[in-house]
Structure 1
């Protein structure tokens, strides 16, 4: 049996849906269930987990359900512990910057959900502070590790598209208002004063998808709006929705690539998955979702003719070919956790850091400025 090397991880925000389901259960506990993370020297990295938050009863309940023992509501005391090497943050965005700053000061390696801060200046300061402290740091960019986008990336790397012309993305679903049916998202998402809004939530995602797969984002034109003006919170109280629930963006990338991505919590789904990207190139096109990816090569492209007077004769969906898996795909959050843990333990290459997180915050900030000022905004380099 390989020697286990413990690594202490402080999880803050695990009582929330994302922190609990994706980061605790489907990532760190799944890593423990598989026996840890194998390292190149033959040992196995073993996550020792401490749960942090404000509600001790909720933390104890989660710990008891999963055979954990360490919980705390005293963040400062936990950050002072030598046996905790990594601080992870999945709190509401408005609480994140202060907590990460304290963790950096305590010399902890940083792994965090996005957005990494509420402002670009705050996100840049976190990245600078982490670099200055010499700690490892990473920002969650989970969609890059989804099966559909991994297969899409395979097509890009293999030259399938020729010259990429455009990317068109559709994301979203109907989030219930909360009056006659409970909402699927927490109420703070719809209050700007609490850090809510679909632009600050989703534009950082679109930034890393576009940057990592297609090219640097050079300019943005956006329109954001609040379609649903009143909602009901978890206690059934009516409140005013002050944050945007839909964002319509045009992004200009290197090489003349144009990306259009619609994000909405006020749309009903008529597509195969909750998010889909269509990529069109000179040699072929593809449509990728969370899990599936379908492609159509130039040589197999049909020749439809516009005629609104007759019923359509093409079964357009049947003319696309499924891109095969060709490998086993792990949970995207778990896959990135394993990469970050190896980065901390072995200094392996890792590009999804706080600087990448800051670029995502920048795009959200500039998208909101574009919408506010009604104009195209160029995206300067973050340094």
Structure 2
């Protein structure tokens, strides 16, 4: 599978280049808006061609798929161009700046007959696969509530547009709430109905929020509490699911690394749930390559990306207005 990277990004360098290659992919080119950066990035990562013009990159007859990891406001136009060129698309979250644009992207890919995926890595973690299996097996009974703890400290090398550029999609809500929305949907198999929320600029955000807390209602009646932040240097991430027959307590699992601990607590006592320590991104790429061959679907497809964005958009609106806000999934 021949790949082009749209975006000479940190996530591509630190995670996706290795994952694409480990899954059997061949990276042929990389795009940056800066020609010198494109050339240097290509040389550093053993990529044949560095481009600064998207049309020229897509016109080259040596790509089956593209991975998009530019700033959020660029995703829509770049994805639409790639789809029009007949390329499969794996796009970073959030898919677009609006739910309507995300829906347009996904429907265009479907009409063109190309695979469209959202790079939601957490659902590929062994920890989350084990949690989902335990919930599906009924080990905690009917789920009553979920608590998501995803307050972290944004590493200095990621400071920049995430902290000061709302027009580029900066802020903790588009960056992390989308992950938590996808994770909750993955475990519960249902979509949030409405949300209430507050946000704040608590030390890093300049013109964007850097912390957020929200509560979501689910169709089943379960309640979800989510906490995201860029400013918590000493916090521990985690996920708790509480049901009628037990609770799952997971710590340090909201991460790109295959780490953490999971405890199942029932009337019989406590039990440690083991899980695979495979690479999250390699699993995602294995699934995407299979989908490109017509075998199954991406681990997170375009609909998953639309729905995670829709929840984040509702959280942002609820925080802005102070009102309970229905989640608008754009008709999907």
Please give the TM-score of this superposition, normalised by the length of structure 1: 0.79
Q: Aligned-pair distance for 1:84? A: 0.8
Any unmatched runs of 5+ in structure 1?
1-6, 37-45, 177-182, 231-240, 302-319
Q: Aligned-pair distance for 1:351? A: 6.0
- Are 2:323 and 1:375 equivalent residues in the alignment? yes
Aligned to 1:313: none
Aligned to 2:2: 8
Partner Cα separation in structure 2 for residue 380 and residue 55 of structure 1: 37
Partner Cα separation in structure 2 for residue 68 and residue 175 of structure 1: 29
Residues 194 and 66 of structure 1, relative CA distance in 2, 3 Å threshold: closer
Partner Cα separation in structure 2 for residue 121 and residue 255 of structure 1: 26
Partner Cα separation in structure 2 for residue 217 and residue 16 of structure 1: 31
Any unmatched runs of 5+ in structure 2?
254-258
Partner Cα separation in structure 2 for residue 170 and residue 266 of structure 1: 13
Where does 1:226-375 land on structure 2 (aligned, <5 Å)?
A: 226-228=201-203, 241-271=206-236, 275-288=237-250, 289-290=252-253, 291-301=259-269, 320-325=270-275, 328-350=276-298, 352-375=300-323
Aligned to 2:197: 222
Partner Cα separation in structure 1 for residue 62 and residue 204 of structure 2: 47
Q: Secondary structure at the match of 1:267?
A: coil
Equivalent position to 1:120, from 88, 99, 103: 99
Aligned to 1:167: 146
Aligned to 1:236: none
User: Are the aligned partners of 1:165 and 1:258 in contact in 2 as well (CA < 8 Å)?
Assistant: yes
Partner Cα separation in structure 1 for residue 44 and residue 160 of structure 2: 26
Aligned to 1:206: 180
Residues 175 and 202 of structure 1, relative CA distance in 2, 3 Å threshold: closer
C-alpha distance after superposition, 1:107-148 (max 9, x if no partner): 111111010101111111111211222211111110011222
Partner Cα separation in structure 2 for residue 270 and residue 94 of structure 1: 30
User: Are the aligned partners of 1:229 and 1:242 in contact in 2 as well (CA < 8 Å)?
Assistant: no
Aligned to 1:108: 87
Q: Secondary structure at the match of 2:73?
A: helix
Aligned to 1:97: 76
Partner Cα separation in structure 2 for residue 19 and residue 11 of structure 1: 8
Partner Cα separation in structure 1 for residue 36 and residue 101 of structure 2: 32
Partner Cα separation in structure 2 for residue 298 and residue 30 of structure 1: 39
Q: Aligned-pair distance for 1:247? A: 1.0
Structure with max Cα Rg: 1
Aligned to 2:58: 79
Please give the TM-score of this superposition, normalised by the length of structure 2: 0.91
The number of residue pairs the alignment matches comes to: 323
Partner Cα separation in structure 2 for residue 249 and residue 363 of structure 1: 11
